[in-house]
Each structure stands twice: as C-alpha cells, then as structure tokens.
Structure 1
Amino acid sequence: MNKTITKVFLVLCVLLWTGFAAIAQSIVVSGTVTDKLTKEPIPGVSVTVKGKTIGSSTDQNGKFSFTTTEKPPFTLSVTFVGFNTVEREITGSSTNLSFELESGAILGQEVVVSASRTPERILESPVTIERMGAAQIREIAAPSFYDAIQNIKGVEMSTQSLTFRSYNTRGFNANGNTRFNQLIDGMDNQAPGLNFSVGNIVGITELDVDNVELLPGASSALYGAGGISGTLLMTSKDPFKYPGVSFQFKTGVNHVNDNNSSAQPFNQLDVRMAKSWNNKFGAKFAFSFLQAKDWFGTNQSNFDRASNMPKAGNRQSDPAYDGVNVYGDETSYNMRATNNTVELGARQAILNASGGLFNPQTVLNNLPAGTPYANYIGFINANVPAPLRAAVTNQYLPFYYAQRNPGVLPNQNITRTGYNEMDLVDYDTKSLKMSGGLYYNFTPTIQLTAQANWGTGTSVYTGSDRYSLRNFNIGLYKLELKGEDFYIRGYTTQERSGDSYISSILGAYISEKDKSSTAWLPQYIGTYVGARLNPAVTEAQAHAAARSAADAGRVMPGSTQYENYAQQIKNTYISQTNLATGVYGAKFNDKSNLYHYEGMYNFSKLFNNVVEFQVGASARRFDLNSGGTIFDDLNREIDIDEYAAFGQLGKKFGEAFKLTVAGRFDKSQNFEGRFTPRVTGVWTVAKNSNIRASFQTGFRNPTTQNQYIDLAVGGGSQRLIGGIPEFLNKYSLLSNKPYTEVSYRQAVAGTGPLVQYSFDPRGVRPESVTAYELGYKGLLGSNFLLDIYGFYNQYKDFITAVNVYQLNGTAFTKFGVPVNATGKVKTWGGAFGLDYVTGKYTFSGNVSYNKIGDLPAEYNNDFNTPEIRYNLGLSNREVFKNVGFNVNYRWQDKFIWFSSFAGGEVPAFGTVDAQVNLKVPSVNSVVKIGGSNILNKYYITSYGNPEVGAMYYVSLAFNP
C-alpha cells in the first residue's frame, strides 16, 4: 500500500505545483456592514466573492477583511439571514467599502459546495441539497444543532440514546447506518471497527459549526463507498473569519413524568476560542462537556427470534419468554431434548460412581411401560444398592421417567430468567469533546491546516445487541494543504472502546456465574416433572413451580453479589471467556484505526473556466484491532486497503443549461473494482427558477464486520461471522452445509424436515444502487421558495444476513452470516418543501414520501422508513425588540422496523420543539428558553430503542 500511496502523492504534488505557477497577485478586500435602519454594525455577515468560497465574516464591529487573487472586476455578495442580499461589482478600490443591509428575505441565495465539489448557488445545484448555516444554527429550537438536522426535508433519525443518533434519507434507515456518510471538515466520521458514524459523540461543538450540507441519496461518484443513502457534510468555523471567545451554558431536565425515574438534570458547557495574527497565522480551540441521565430501554415485549418480530406472552405466561430489552433470556432450550441430555449425563455419573457396575437405565427398563411413578420409587428401594438409591431417585428418575413417558414433558422451549436493561447498562451519560486547529496562510489563497477532533464519553448504541459504551473515545487528526483550486489531505481516525461491553452477554453470564445452566435446567425439568405427576397441577402451574425452584436464591440487581459478578464480567474481555473454568467476559476491546489520504485539483482556470474539470484520488487503510473480541484477530493482524480515483467535467451551454459528467473507480482488496458514474443537468427556465435532473450510482462495500467479525452475541447463543469465503471455509459452511432457521425450528417442533442452506462460494459482495431524480427549485417572487423532487432507486446485491444451524455431531451451532439478497429492490418517493418570508416572520414546511416495491423472498425488509413524514416551522428573529422565537412541529407515520437486534412496529408520533430567545446587545449575549418534545409525549424512532421524552432547558450564550 505504501508504494501506491507514494505514487498517488507524487501525482498530486505535480498537480499542485502546476496550480502554484498560476497564482496571481493578491488584493485586500475590506469594509464595514451596518443595518440600514438602525445604522448599527451587524456581526456575523457573510461577505464573499460571488461564485467562490473566498471571503470572510464581519466581526463584532461589523468589519471584515480578506485577500483574494481575483482580478477586478468581480462581484461581492453580502448575505445575512433576515436581510436582503446585496451584490456590488468591484472595479476600482477594494478597501474601506461600506454596505447597508435592509431586513428582508434572502431565500435561495446560499452558496453550497458539496453538490458538485465547487461553489454554486443552492438554486443552481444539479442535485437535491439541503443546508443549515451558522445563523440558522444559532436560532434552532432543538437542544443542539445535531438534533435539528432531523427537521430538514427528507431526513429521518434513529435515536439509540441521548448522544447516539443515526441519520438517513430515502429509505433503509438503521441504528448504525452504514449506508449514510458523515464528513467533518472532509474527514470521515465513521468508527473504523463499526463502519458507521458515531453521531456527534466526536465532532463539532455547536459554537464552532459554520454550516451543514446534506446530499440525500446516492453520492458515491463524488464521495466514495458508503454514501448509498446520503452524505452529511459538517464544516467548522475558520479562525480568520470567526475570531474571538464564545461560550454557552445550558441546563435543564429530562425524564419528566417518566414511570421509571424522577426528573433528571442535564448540563452542558461549550467554549470556543479563536485568534489570528496578521492574516497569516490562526489558531482555535473548542470544548464541550455534557452530563445527563440517558433514555431508558424498557421494551419488555416478548420477542420471537424466528420471525424477528414481537409475539404474545410475558415471563408468567410463556416459558420461552425473550424480552426485547431483557438480557440473558436469549437462548432457548427444548425441554425434551434437554431432558434426554440430562438423563444421559445423570446415567453416566451413576455408572461412574459404581465403578461401571451399575447402569440405572438397564435396571429400570425391567419395569413395563406405563408403570406409575410411585412404583418406581418402591422398585428402586428394593433393587438399587443403598449407596446409589438417593442419586437414582433424585438425580436420575425424573428424567428417565419423562423420557419413557413423553406425555409428561411437553415439546416446549424454555429460557432462563433474564435481567432488565436498566440493571445492566450504564445510563450516566457523559460527553466530552475537544477540537483545535493551527492554520497558516502561505498566500491569501493557500492554507496549511493541522486539526484534531477528539471525543470521549459514556453512551449506548444498538447494533446486533445493545452495547454499553463506557469511556469510549475516538479521535480524528488531519493535516491539509488547500487552495482555491486544490486540496491534499491526510487524516487518521483512532477508535478506542474503553470499558465498553455487550449487555446481553453480561446478563447471560451473571446468570451463569450465579448458577450454571447445566445445574439450572435439570432443576427446572425435574421440578416440572414432579409437579405434573399431580393431576391437579396444570401445565402453567408446573412451569411456575419449576422456575421458582430453579431461580431460588437467584442473585438480584442491587445486591453485593450481583455487583461483584457484574464488575468481574464487565472487566473481562469476551476472548478470555472459558466456560470450563468459570471465566466469563462481556467487554470488547476495539482499537481499530482508519488511515486516509486524498487530493483533488480543479483545472477549470487552465481552461479559462469554459469547462469545469476536476480530478482526484484517494487511498485508505482499515487497521482492525480487537484482540479477538469482535474480529477474528486474536492471533493475526487484519488490514483492509482501498484505492479510488475520480473525475468530473462540467460545461454550461449558454445561460440556460449546464451539464456535468462524473465518474469514480474504487477498488477494495477483497472485492472487484467498481465504477460509479454520475450525470446531472440543470436547466434555468426563468430567473431564479431551475429544473434539475440526475442519474447517479452508489455502492457500499461490506463493512469491516461483514468481512471479519467473529463474535458470540445473544447471550452467547449465536456466533456472528464474516461473510467472505475465508469464514465460510473456517466453519466448514460450504462442505458441512447448515440448515435454514425456519426448517430448524419446524424440525424441533416436529412439524417439518430440516432443509439445507447453500452459501454462494464467492461470499458476500458490495451492494449497489442506480438512482434517478427530477426536481425543481425556484423563487416565486422574492420571498417564496419552492423545492420539489421525485426519485426512483434500484438496488442490487443487497447486503442482508441469514441465520443458519449447522449440525456438528449431535449438537447444532447457530451462525449469523452476511449474504447478498438475489433479485433487485426498487424504491421511489419524493419531497415537497416551501419557505415563505413576510416581514420578520419565516414560515417553512416540508413533506416526504418513501415507498418500497416487491422484495426478494429471502430478503429481510429493513426499509425502516415511514411512507409519510412532515415538518412545519414558524420563526421570527425579533418579534419584539431583541426578542425572537422559533417553533417546529415534526410528524411521521407508523411503520415496521427490522434490524439484527429487534423488529416491530414504530407507532406514528408528532413532536414539538420550541425556543424563545432574548438578545442582550450590551453584553453581546443571548438567553434562550426552550425544549424538545415540549408536549412530553414519549415516542420511539426505532424498535428496541428507548422512548424519548421532553428535554426542557435554559441557556446563556456569550458572543454566539
């Protein structure tokens, strides 16, 4: 890989020197921006060269200054939320300029970069793009900017905990969403060992966010593998444009009217400091700390693992009860099959005790079938040697009798009594984020940046299990050189799991340490048989008596013994588990890293901007390190290398139409190379009115876990393995063919034969999508913005998973294996959004529709998206002097959620976020009172995850 990276960098360096040779003499642009009505300076106003990203923002005195290589004449664009945009052509002096802004609408004038990797007005974007700027972020109603993203058109969110949320667009939402990219200042925010973004656990603090841009749908042609459902790009503030010191303190409560808790406080402190010297050297530092009580996972619905959906029953009515948020009850045991195993073991133990001279089965077989139980007792007393009578009567007879009289023991599965998630998971949420950067301007347009983002904390996320993340941390470290027409960057993502553990394994192993299943099961079955010998005892009563006897003395949450067991298991790695010696571990040890290098050059200026031409290349390595607790890397190193190159060519035909063609080639070491093209067109039908059309493709490689996982889950009842050929051979799944889950369960119940499952010897492969979109965005007048689009997607080789049962000797082993679904999956939908500004009021609304077509027979439907959802918003920056407000209502329809953890219905819900703010200009501060879900109607966004209630807060922000 090192040789390849060296070659890539040599090519990029040549391109860079080509660009340096074209650097022109820079000029200084400076001036002041004031409010036309009040004549007061306006801080935070964006002043940019039109059509470029070069520019600055005004300081507290309304002043701005920056340098550019653009030669006059050029046009300056001055924009600020709530004011009309001012554009002025600069032909002479560019210093000491003066601008006055009038209140009004600036709809559709924002400049975006991510849609084409080049600056353009959002109205002229060739694909659907959404944007939140710094001014909007300051006025959001949600507790944080990251929470507010769900109010954007077409966006849905899965809330797994207070600080762990996953975003998605256009279907196939997921807890850990591997189909949706998130980039922070160009750095991929995914955890290398998980392959999905960890939300905003590490990332940008609210005071340091400059803007957020969202690309719904496929975006692999520009951003590579993974962006099959969308790409979110978050950009932090530049210290040259945003100098100064800011802080924000927020305090509030959640768990209001929660049946499981009294109201709980939460506190958050954000600080940002930035400084620049002589427009050459800049530095910044940002800090955020949050402490709160997390949302609780309390779904105790009975879960059917065959259908992956809930079923009727509870612990009292169903002996095989498996609670969704109850752990340690995942493994089921068939009473008849277990009885036969116990009978064999007890028989062998008595035979060994007698020195091989006494076989109780041979002796008891002398009695005829149908002999009453009481007669067996008399027979034993008369025919069994005195030293063995107690063992034969108590340890052997119940199981022998049940085996010889099948009517006594039902063909019923049973599970051990589990523990609630609330007693296993650490809900004391903490989040500490720090970021900083050093910036050096070689020229007014060429900047070198060294940047670090680091975050740690305690949270909960949902994968195939509920994972308690304790002292988890992840760091992103970047070195980048960039100019107007190029960038070259290298960064690494360093993931450390800290003291994190798997909750279901913890629950199961606490039970095992307390009483092993080899002791618990015989006690349960023996008691059950004894109870059923009484004709007056019902089956339900016998099960109750059996569980009561087997659970007698069970260690309970809160007790010293329980805490001792829990601490031992939490602090022991999964890979150290040894059932024979009684060593149990639930802790995983993920120290995986990602190394990424990329560069891009825009040759447009060399073609006098007649055409837009960009090329780029990248290389990355996943360095997996879990010590055998997640991946099959206990005794070896696992690295995955990937390479890519892309190009884009765009041309404008007159003033009415622009055509852009792009393509990207990606190669991963375990899979064949893949080309993803993109074609877009924008037709200007009238001033500020554009029709856009696009053909895009996207793909994602099987995740690092899809490829190399080797992990026991579900309380140890199932092994998840990678789907590449290496693992199919390691576990002989090609030669010793396993059986389908449906047929296994039917065979156990005696209702059908076992049916073999055949794996594709090629193993799991990348999935892909072909996406078509047609949309319109335009201004109707100066204060009404309309955006509407429709899309049609076709997916191939969907990565799903199958559960199979492999017979080894007389025992079955359950495997979960990623595979590709055959056939194609089609989805379609659209969205409609409008914004209307009148005076100082802004009305906004959007509605989204998503639908999935017919599915392949073996595909588990994880579309996980409501057909209809909408948002309504109303805001006013200054309804009274220095007083503003913002309120947003969000609603979505019910839908079925399916994941590797759990499946079930997510009910429809609506929720209101609102805030009122008071500006205090004399001290440049803002006081805000608000809340999310202020009506406090608890809801879930995804099945198996916690219910989310209200969060009420008050905040004080200085120099926001």
Structure 2
Amino acid sequence: MNKTSTKTFFVLFVMLLVSLTTFAQSTIVSGTVTDKQTNEPMPGVSVTIKGKNVGASTDANGKFSFSTTEKPPFILSVSYIGYKSIEQSVSGNAGNLSFQLEESGVVLGQEVVISASRTPERILESPVTIERMGAAQIKEVAAPSFYDAIQNIKGVEMSTQSLTFRSYNTRGFNANGNTRFNQLIDGMDNQAPGLNFSVGNIVGITELDVDNLELLPGASSALYGAGGISGTLLMTSKDPFKYPGASFQFKTGINHVSDNNSKVQPFNQVDARLAKSWNNKFGVKFAFSFLQAKDWYGTNYSNYDRANNAPKAGTRQSDPNYDGVNVYGDEVSQNMRSVNGAVEAQTRAAILAATGGLFNPQTTFNALPAGTPYPTYVNLINTNPGIPAALRPTLLNQYLPFYYASRNPAFLPNQNVSRTGYNEMDLVDYNTKSLKLSGGLYYNITPTVQLIAQANWGTGTSVYTGSDRYSLRNFNIGLYKLELKGEDFYLRAYTTQERSGDSYISSILGSYINEKTTASTSWFPTYIGTYIGAKLGGQTDDQAHTLSRANADKDRVAPGSATFNNYASQIKNTYISQTDMAKGIYGAKFNDKTNLYHYEGMYNFSRLFDNVVEFQVGASARRFDLNSGGTIFDDLNKTIDINEYGAFGTVGKKFGDIFKLTFAGRYDKSTNFEGRFTPRVTGVLTVAKNQNIRASYQTGYRNPTTQNQYIDLSVGGGSQRLIGGLPEFLNKYSLLTNKPYTEKSFRNASAGTGPLEQYTFDPRGVRPESVTSYELGYKGLITSNFMIDLYGYMSTFKDFITGINVYQNNAGSFVKFGVPVNADGKVKTYGGALGLDYLVGKYNLSGNVSYNKIGDLPADYVNDFNTPTIRYNLGLGNREVFKNVGFNINYRWQDKFNWMSSFAGGEVPAFATVDAQVNLKVPSVNSIIKVGGSNILNKYYFTSYGNPEVGAMYYVSLAFNP
C-alpha cells in the first residue's frame, strides 16, 4: 500500500464512520458516587448499563458521564471492589444521578475489560485469560511504580536490564528486548521501530495519568496483528473529562544499599498532571515525570565460552583466553599458532623482498635436522658467512623465535589468547535519567463521538541488553496520534519516532579503546613473541603468559585516566559507519532515526443487529521507515521501507445465558513475506451464576524484526558482522555459494580437535514464526468474596526465529557472520496458572502460581525458553487498616532456570523478593504519604544472565490529589 492510497483510505474511512454515527441518537448518563459512611466521593467505580457493553468509571471526584443510544428505561449497575453492588432502574432523566455505596458484601470479578474481545465485557465472562490493574490497585502498589508492579500479575515474567528498562513476557521465551510481546499505550504501539520492542516505560504513561492496564497472556494476533506471540499489554491513560484537576507526586529514596561496587545512592522522581474540561465539549491534559538515579551495575565477571554459549572456569589470571560476561574488548581473540604462523610468513616475505629474493631464511634453517636446539639456530645466524650481517638482528629478534615455534609445534600451545578488556562499569553511563511528557486535546463532536490529538514523548539514559550491552544516552521516542472514536467505532492514525541520541555499543567502545592504544595487528605478535622468549628463558606456561600480557599491555590506558576519557569520548561521539581503522578512526555510536507510521480503524456493527449477534470488522496499514545512516541497517546509500497491512473480523453469538461462541480471524501481509491468516475460536460456558468455563483456540505469528531483515553491522571490534536474514544479504556476502562453517566446528578445527563442518542456509532466508495455542480455563466466584481463576494451555511453535554464527573463508581469511535463521522442527510448550483472591473484611489476600514447561526440542535447537518452571506471588493488603492508614505487601518467588540469549547464557538462581508499603491518607489536603520499598530484604538477584544484580530501593512519597 503506497502513501497516496493509504491517505485516500484514511479520508474515506473517516467520512464513512462519521456519517454512520449521525443515524444514532444518544442519551447522556451522568452522576456521582459517594461512600455511604463517609460521604466522600469514590473514584474508579464501575457504572454500566446492565446487559450492555456501555458504561464508564468515576473520576477523582466520584463523577461519571457517558453517552449511550439506549433509551430509558434501563438498569444501571454500580460496583466497586470492597463494596456492595447497586442496581437501579433509570426511567426518566439520566443526568445528575446519585449513588451511595456501602462497604462489605463484596462481589469480585465485576471489572469491565475491553481488550480480550475488543468490546466491553465483565472480566468474569472474558473468553480468554486476561489480567487487569485498575486505578485503585495502581495507586496502592507496593512497588516503586505501577510498571514495576506488573511482575506481580499472574504468569508474568520480567527481565531487568537497568533501573528504567524492564521487559515483560508471559508463557515462555522471555527476552531482554522482547519482540514477542506487544505493548500499546492508548491504542498506540510504543515499540522502538528500529528495535521492534518496547523500551520499557521510557515513553510510557506517567503514574498519575494511568487509568488501567489489561494484559493478554499468549497469542493475540487474530485481534492485534503481527507480534504478541507471548502476550499483549494495553495501557490506558486518564480522560480529562473523567479525571479533571491537578495532581502532583514527589518520591525520594535510596538504592545501592550494601553494594560492594558503590556507596548508597539517592534517587528522586517528580510527577505532575493537569487536566481541564469545558462544557463537556473541550478537554485538555498534560502530564510530566522526571526521574534521576544511579543505575544498577553489570558486574558478572564470569568467564564465558562463546563456542558453546555457556560459562566456563577461569579468570583473567588463569585463562589467557578469558572473556568476561560484563567485560568488553576481550571478545577480540586469536589463536597463538595462527598468529605465530602469520608473523613468520610476513617477516620471511619482507626478508625475501629486502634481498631481492636471494635469501630465504626458511630454506636455510630447514637444512638443520628436526629437533635442533634453539642455540644452534642462533649460532648459525651469527657464524654463517652466507647470511648478510645487516640481516642478523632481524633474523635473531623478529624471525627466528616465530620460525622455531612453527617448526616445533609442541613448543607453542594451540590455544586462543584474548585482549585485555575493560569492565562495563568503566564504559557504560549509569547516570540514569528519565523524562516523560504527554498531552492531549479532546473535542466531543457529539455526545458519542470524540476527536483526540495526543502526544507522548520520552527521553532518558539507560542500558539495554541485546546481542550486546547498549548504553542508551539521550535516547528518545515520540508517539503522536490523531483519533476519531465513538461508541461503536474508532479511526486512528499515529506515528512512532525513534531517535538514538548519543547511544553507543559498549563492546565496540572497549575494543576500540584497545585499538587506539595498540592495534591488534601489533598486540598479538608482541604477546606471542614475548611468550616464546619467556619459554626459551625457562619460564613456565603461566609465567610466560603473565609476562606476555604485561608486555603487550605496557601502553594500555587505565580506566578513568585523561587519555582513557579522551579516547572514550572520541569513540562514543563517532558513528560506527565512520570507522576507518587504516586512518585511525573508530566509532561506537549508532544513529537510529527509524519511524513507524500506522493507520487503523474498526467498526462494531452489533447494534445494527440489536446485539443478537456481535460483529466487528477492522483494518490497518503501517510502514517502517528505516533510517540509520548505515550504522545499523544496510541503508547508507539506499532507502529501506517495510509495508504491512491487514484486516480482521469477529463474529460472536450468545445462546441464552448459558454459552457464548466467538470466531475471529485476521489476514496480514508484509513487504518481504507471504500473506498470513490467523484465526481464533473461543467459547464461554456459564455453569452457574458468576461461574464460567472458557476454552479457546488461538494462533499468532511474528514477522522477523527490522534488524532480522536488514541489519548490516560490524561488532566486536570488527571481529564479527551481523547481517539480515533476507536472501539479498545471503547473496551479498556469497553465503549460499561460498558456504561457511559452523562456529563450533571452526573452533574445534582451530584447536585441532575436529574437522570443519559446512552450514547450508535456506535460500528463502528467514521467515515469520508462528504459534498455535489451546487454552482451557475457569473463572468464578466461590462466594461473593472468594474468586478463583485457573487455566491451562498448550502451544506449538513453528519456524522459530533464532540466530546462528558461522565462519566464511575469504581468500584464506575467516570472517565471522551472525545471521537470523528459522529453527527446524516444531517446539511445544505447555503450562498453567492458578490465581486466588479472598476478601476478609477490609483485608485483601491474593496469591497466584504459574507453571511453564518446554517439551522435547529438535536436534541442535538452542533452548531459549528463558522461563522458570514455577513462580508464585502472595499478597496482603488493607486500604484502611485503621483510620486513614493502609498497607500493601507482596512476596514473589521464582525457581532457578537456564537463560540463553545472543549476549550470554547461564543459570539464573532461584530468588525471592518482598515489596511493601504503608500509606497515610490526609483527607484535609487530599493527599497520600507513602513509605515503602522493593526487595526490602535487600537480597541482590538478577533476572537474566549477564544483566545487573538488583538490590533494594527504599522510598517515601507525597502525592497530592492522586
């Protein structure tokens, strides 16, 4: 779909939807809900028309207002957790209604959700598993922010890469930058378009502006398109008509308590929100949030075996080929014998050239018998009249040691030696900052049709773990939306603009500081030459290695020194694409200005069928506009765009009050891949009042990311090139004709322990992966204050996208490539979860446990399930344990598991954390004071291998009009 046709489609769809809305006459339903005992207004109360998917929640002042085409008389249902529900008939005026709710007699499960079917329905009646956090829960979370608290939801997994960068997932295959999990803000996909995953909550909703969030575990492509194989998170901000007024929050605290790498560090956060409406016609809001803190440190110095993707024994002192997980620059490694042979050949060629081909030292020395002692060679050089005197110093110091080691293989170990790297702490910017700004203009064209112009912008400094540790400095993303919506439709256009700012790749920075100090072409020969000399002098292997490293590193710049800082500044401010080693120009900075343009619309025709049948249709079109200036993508001299478009429909039918059946399907097409249809079938059986069994068949798929398709990047100090998996890249680098070798066989062959084995790429290149999932669940009220949610699932993945490293022989020199490919065979996963909620008076007890398992794996499949088998949460809270004082505490535990990623892999030990908060309400100034902490026992843990350890955060906050 080109730009012209997209715009035409957009305009015509707007005209169609606006014209359809003119046929409906609307009624305004409005009023106030208060606490019967205190007479105070109650925010977050659900007010709906019984039997209809129409309603609203009360604002901070307990007021509600919504439009409906239903004409009185009808029944309004008013419900709130912890209070008796009310049903009241409205037969006349539907405005300025008044309701008073009384505590106790609690009925759980009355929350209305939208995302499960794209239409409002009680959470008890959802056809698929769905989790929800409302405004009241968000306000009382024990975690430092609502986004941190998502990890307490049933079945949710989290990867913490830095203080402000957390990635969420459900049902396995967790990842640092999770491309299998969708995250939407007010209907906008907030993925960074050049990365294809959400950068935590950097551009998310501020805490004072979030109204609710809904989480769909598992596949959701039938309703939301590509992605979301592992889950979809939808966050909704507050409407200025429902939540007017000014709010403010200040939070201050400390972290790095008992941290061996740092003294205690402060953190501060300020949030503000302003909203105003006029005559129920115009509305405006603005939200602001700024956080400043010292980030968690990456300090995993375990030795890592890249060939087998696993930790290994050894330290820098004991292993000459040490490669620390959070150490960068030591990825550059060469085989001692290979370096020795290259130096010998190069020096011999120079001698031949200098003598006009008249003297070949190899021929001269080969005349001596094998096993000849080294001193005999020295004596030959000094006494043989056939050797020119001017050549003797060169032969003695630059040629003979390397020749002798080549002729006597046992003298020189057949092992790799790595350069001395720099710790992550010396390279990465840990001065975390996060600034979020958002605003919106709202205009009610009619009581049921609203026009919205919205902008969300966020910037910050953080750290992200991908195939490397990326220092994101002044990284920013903007979301800009124009939307027209009504009771039965919406039409939305938005763009996501990503700007990498001053971001750079830490391993390249470490490698290039080494190169600017001493080029590898000199460092390795110095190391080998020193080693040979030490061995000839009678030293042990360990002594020889220690002396060799000290000599090769004699000019190494110390972290923090003026020279180090100067080199680092030059490299961090030079783009990767500008690197020219011959000219001494090195760059680690990437320049990503990729944009996403998205258009979509939906219409719900159910009302035209008198709600006897639910029928919805929708369509979308999007474009990825890749712009990296050759620093990430192959776009230095060409333009790269990726177009995607799709359409979906859902049909649902209720059979009395017993059973509801729904069919949904979506067709999607992308520029580089064939079209794909993803169906969904769901059923909900009501076995008794508030007792529902749900079953579903769902499918999902994920296109290869923009980087999977078009990346073309040199990493690791030039030791590896990451390329896209499309056929054009396989042809560009002749990987189909000049077949490469597998990484494991290459390393074995280099060590003399095995033959080289070729790898054959699929000429079709990388393709979309897909999943088919079956789920059976039960959700019901055992009593009015005891709710159970139970489900089990089984999923089958096909064409799973993974990556492979290969080595290609180019004219005798091996080049390493990292290429995305599809795993052979199918991968099956299964699991389930149980959640319990029990209310005892004002106390809320909750608990959940989840189980996830991967089945038998295809041969040679790299297991990146990245999920503990068992995890559970226990919670206890009371909004008012005594007058104006409440508390919330949550205990979280997960089992040990193995983590695998393109950065590193290893065991993540089991850990447990406790989050808690106590709050004091001050009604006279409409404020809340909260004292709390996350991981309050300060037991440091990490969520994925290679990421930093996370300690406690203790805080106190003051919120006005929250």
Q: TM-score, normalised by structure 1?
A: 0.98
Code of the residue aligned with 1:479 in structure 2: it is: L
Code of the residue aligned with 1:235 in structure 2: it is: T
- SS of the equivalent of 2:673 reads coil
- SS of the equivalent of 2:581 reads coil
Higher mean C-alpha deviation, range 150-159 or range 399-408: 399-408
Q: How does 1:123-522 map to 2 (within 5 A)?
A: 123-354=124-355, 356-383=357-384, 384-522=387-525
User: 1:98 offset after TM fit, Å?
Assistant: 2.0
Higher mean C-alpha deviation, range 43-52 or range 306-315: 43-52
Aligned to 2:82: 82
Aligned to 1:42: 42
Residues 659, 683 of structure 2: 8 Å contact kept: yes
From 788, 794, 797, the counterpart of 1:795: 797
Code of the residue aligned with 1:160 in structure 2: it is: Q
Contiguous gaps of at least 5 residues in structure 2: none
> Aligned partners of 1:422 and 1:745: how far apart in 2?
30
Aligned to 1:837: 839
- SS of the equivalent of 2:17 reads helix
Residues 56, 240 of structure 1: 8 Å contact kept: no
Code of the residue aligned with 2:819 in structure 1: it is: V
Deviations 1:154-198 (A, max 9, x none): 001000000011000000000000100000000001101001111
User: 1:485 offset after TM fit, Å?
Assistant: 0.3
Higher mean C-alpha deviation, range 34-43 or range 798-807: 34-43
Aligned to 2:544: 542
Deviations 1:48-69 (A, max 9, x none): 4444354352443x44444443
Q: How does 1:904-943 map to 2 (within 5 A)?
A: 904-943=906-945
Deviations 1:631-682 (A, max 9, x none): 1111101000001000000010111100000000000010000000000000
From 575, 590, 593, the counterpart of 2:577: 575
Higher mean C-alpha deviation, range 99-108 or range 132-141: 99-108
From 791, 807, 810, the counterpart of 1:808: 810
Higher mean C-alpha deviation, range 386-395 or range 161-170: 386-395
User: 1:15 offset after TM fit, Å?
Assistant: 4.0
User: 1:888 offset after TM fit, Å?
Assistant: 0.2
Higher mean C-alpha deviation, range 370-379 or range 567-576: 370-379
> Aligned partners of 1:563 and 1:354: how far apart in 2?
45
Deviations 1:571-605 (A, max 9, x none): 11111111111111111000000000000000111
> Aligned partners of 2:698 and 2:378: how far apart in 1?
78
Residues 225, 700 of structure 1: 8 Å contact kept: yes
- SS of the equivalent of 1:193 reads coil
Aligned to 2:658: 656
Deviations 1:407-432 (A, max 9, x none): 21011111001000000000000000
Aligned to 2:526: 523
Code of the residue aligned with 2:221 in structure 1: it is: S
Code of the residue aligned with 1:321 in structure 2: it is: Y
> Aligned partners of 2:715 and 2:446: how far apart in 1?
55
User: 1:780 offset after TM fit, Å?
Assistant: 1.1
- SS of the equivalent of 1:506 reads helix
Residues 932, 951 of structure 1: 8 Å contact kept: yes
From 599, 605, 624, the counterpart of 2:626: 624
Higher mean C-alpha deviation, range 160-169 or range 856-865: 856-865
Give the fraction of aligned pairs with identical amino acids, expressed as a percent. 78
Residues 58, 242 of structure 2: 8 Å contact kept: yes
Deviations 1:528-585 (A, max 9, x none): 11111234x2211111111111111311101111111111110111111111111111
Say if 2:114 is the partner of 1:113: yes
User: 1:401 offset after TM fit, Å?
Assistant: 1.0
- SS of the equivalent of 1:673 reads strand
Residues 741, 756 of structure 2: 8 Å contact kept: yes
Residues 77, 87 of structure 1: 8 Å contact kept: yes
> Aligned partners of 1:806 and 1:40: how far apart in 2?
73
Aligned to 2:682: 680
User: 1:79 offset after TM fit, Å?
Assistant: 3.2
User: 1:356 offset after TM fit, Å?
Assistant: 4.8
- SS of the equivalent of 2:491 reads strand
- SS of the equivalent of 1:847 reads strand
Code of the residue aligned with 1:837 in structure 2: it is: L
Code of the residue aligned with 2:309 in structure 1: it is: N
> Aligned partners of 1:34 and 1:14: how far apart in 2?
41
> Aligned partners of 1:85 and 1:717: how far apart in 2?
66
Aligned to 2:94: 94
Give the count of matched residue pairs.
957
Higher mean C-alpha deviation, range 4-13 or range 664-673: 4-13
Aligned to 1:826: 828
Residues 12, 600 of structure 1: 8 Å contact kept: no
User: 1:14 offset after TM fit, Å?
Assistant: 5.7
> Aligned partners of 1:946 and 1:84: how far apart in 2?
46
- SS of the equivalent of 1:499 reads coil
> Aligned partners of 2:498 and 2:947: how far apart in 1?
24
> Aligned partners of 1:921 and 1:353: how far apart in 2?
92
User: 1:331 offset after TM fit, Å?
Assistant: 2.3
Say if 2:777 is the partner of 1:775: yes
Q: How does 1:755-774 map to 2 (within 5 A)?
A: 755-774=757-776
- SS of the equivalent of 2:662 reads strand
User: 1:859 offset after TM fit, Å?
Assistant: 1.6
Residues 81, 136 of structure 1: 8 Å contact kept: no
Deviations 1:736-763 (A, max 9, x none): 1111112112211212211111111111
**What's the C-alpha RMSD, in Å, of the aligned pairs?**
1.4
Deviations 1:901-934 (A, max 9, x none): 0000000000000000000000000000000000
Q: TM-score, normalised by structure 2?
A: 0.98
- SS of the equivalent of 1:580 reads helix
Contiguous gaps of at least 5 residues in structure 1: none
From 676, 690, 693, the counterpart of 1:691: 693
